[in-house]
Structure 1
Amino acid sequence: MTPASVTAFCPGHISGYFRRVDGHDPATTGSIGAGIVINEGVTATVRLSPHSSVVVRVRSPEGTAREISRTSPPLSFALDRLGVTVAVETVCRLPIGAGFGLSAAALLATLSATNRLLALDLGADAIAELAHETEVIFRTGLGDVAACQGGGRVVRTGPGIHGTILRSFDLDAPVCAVSFGPIHTPDVLGSPAQMAQVAAAFPQRQPKNFMEFFACCREFSAGSGLETPAVQRVLAECDRQGIPAAMTMLGDGVFAYGERACDALRPFGEVYGMGMADAGVRVESAA
């Protein structure tokens, strides 16, 4: 029996450093870099409907889901590409546009749920390819879809969803973050001057462990021209306490690692606690 609704979840991704790679089409365009796939992300519930609609909600610390939008051009585009109509509701806890890879997570969760609901028989690669193409076209991300296909601390050495990805599952302590607001990703990704500075700051070595990962992230953010004064203050305090930390890319915020990380970030604003995800997108229920 065809279910009336399907719910899927996709983890987010915090990027620590990246470099844009321009290909000859969206499939070969993307980025290389490194980050952490996190166990916070986006839950998408998709229902049968004669007309497509999207509702975006953010869940408060008290558990209330507040509606923030009734439109999502990337989601609408992806559904149109599939030639389907469904009603979509996405829910997340982390702030949108703040460097947590939530646009990629929303696409992967929505497309995975739609695939199951309508029995489209799409494979994981086909879903990821459409999600990645959508991200590139809307300039909402370059490497998050590739990362969110699985879990772990990731190092991406090739662009697109078929590029080489090295996954290390070496983060068993909390990952915490503080955000001071969004950085408008399309402005950064669409600026040749900013992209040139970002490319020049890209680390020349591949991190072998999480400490080297954070060191590479810090070198990158310092040289990229993206650090804000608020980010610099938080990073200085984390350095003082000996806590590994870096800037969220692309977002005006900081993520830190370890048992003392949340306490170190607390004086600077609302702290979002999470951990490393051990897997990528998954369908959670069908009813």
Structure 2
Amino acid sequence: MVLVTQVPVAVAKAYSPGHITGFFSTPDPHISTTDPKFLGSMGAGFSINKGITSTVKVFSSNEKNYEIRLNGIPNFELKVSNFVVASYMQLIREPVYLSIEHESELPIGYGLGSSGSAALSLSYALNEALKTNLTKVQAAQIAHNGDIACRTGLGTVISEFTGGFELRLKVGGPGIGQVIKSELSTDWCVIVLCLEPIKTELWLDKSVTNENKHSLNLLGRKMVHDLYQNQNVGSFLEMSYQFAREYHLDEGKCQNPINLLQAEGIKASVALFGHTLFTLTERDKVRRIVKLLEQFKGQLLVCGVDNLGARLIRRND
């Protein structure tokens, strides 16, 4: 039986944006490192201003233990969050009981970076509440390591750590990977149509065993190079759609809405990985695009780009 005090000895809260990946390339097979900080992906995408807020309350206790809730409901299957908590439990000596609350604005499983967002915001909040004195980069690396270990993402955490419209030029987690960040103005809006969830690990496993993996990686690297030469939203959307077609993600549930938008001259693509259509557009075109997509069953989100990246938003001890 775990005995805890009724009043928390520390409280901390942190936020991480969600993220949409347009295309990516995994490491070369000859890379032999098992250190997850040096693993990940190159690619491009952008952070959105809907994400996950994590609140950590620390209680004195007679043994180490914790609970995690997602939108108020106990959830013991959040693999990456469990990984992050276990990492911090190893850093402290005193027994504590942690009450953890994830508040998500993101639909889970639709390619919007929810696992990375939960891990990153939780790591920042734990670092503050437990006074482990890690740097922001070190705290972000724990989240990245969890995303890699649980096969829920490759470049998500470093992207959400950075914020904005990002181009990942070198594989690795925060502090290791090389990222070019562009801040998009509030004139840009993100429109997302979530149609059906996908388990990211299944698609990552498919990409590893896919006989076309080599050609997909070559395509992803070429796109990184090409976008580096011409960093604009239109080029990114075109490349992302081309990459989604190679994965056949433009077929099935996303096919009809994408075809409709393209018939109207609107560039759109599919989030990696989810049956989720997205586009970046100027604010004055939002109403027209929303009206076109409202006929399809699914969850329609309109949001902006988060240029700040993950951050601590409350401390109290």
TM-score, normalised by the number of residues in structure 1: 0.90
CA distance in 2, matches of 1:187, 1:71: 17
- 1:270 Cα offset (Å): 2.4
Native 8 Å contact 2:233 2:280 kept in 1: no
CA distance in 1, matches of 2:153, 2:180: 19
CA distance in 2, matches of 1:216, 1:229: 20
Which residue identity is paired with 2:113? Answer: G
- 1:147 Cα offset (Å): 0.5
Structure with higher Rg: it is: 2
- 1:4 Cα offset (Å): 3.2
Deviations 1:208-237 (A, max 9, x none): 210001011011111123333221211111
**Is the aligned partner of 1:246 residue 2:269?**
yes
CA distance in 2, matches of 1:286, 1:127: 16
Match of 2:189 in 1: 174
Which residue identity is paired with 1:253? Answer: T
Match of 1:257 in 2: 280
Match of 2:305 in 1: 276
Deviations 1:239-285 (A, max 9, x none): 12222211011111101122333333222232111110010111112
- 1:37 Cα offset (Å): 0.8
- The 3-state SS of whatever aligns with 1:78 is helix
CA distance in 2, matches of 1:177, 1:254: 6
- The 3-state SS of whatever aligns with 1:190 is helix
Gap regions ≥5 residues in structure 2: 1-7
Match of 1:230 in 2: 253
Match of 1:120 in 2: 132
Match of 2:5 in 1: none
- 1:3 Cα offset (Å): 5.7
Deviations 1:54-103 (A, max 9, x none): 1112xxxxxxxx63734422212221122255221101122111101111
Match of 1:77 in 2: 83
Match of 1:60 in 2: none
Residue from 42, 45, 55 that aligns with 2:55: 45
Q: Assess, with a 3 A threshold, how the Cα gap between structure 1 residues 68 and 227 changes in structure 2: closer, same or farther.
A: farther
Match of 1:11 in 2: 17
CA distance in 1, matches of 2:21, 2:291: 22
Deviations 1:96-154 (A, max 9, x none): 11101111111110110111111111101111111111111100000011101122111
Match of 1:136 in 2: 148
CA distance in 2, matches of 1:199, 1:265: 32
Residues paired across the two proteins, number: 278
- 1:27 Cα offset (Å): 1.5
Q: CA RMSD in A?
A: 2.0
Match of 2:38 in 1: 28
- 1:198 Cα offset (Å): 3.7
Native 8 Å contact 1:203 1:220 kept in 2: no
**Is the aligned partner of 1:163 residue 2:181?**
no
TM-score, normalised by the number of residues in structure 2: 0.82
Match of 1:89 in 2: 101
Match of 2:123 in 1: 111
- The 3-state SS of whatever aligns with 1:272 is strand
Native 8 Å contact 2:68 2:99 kept in 1: yes
Which residue identity is paired with 1:92? Answer: S
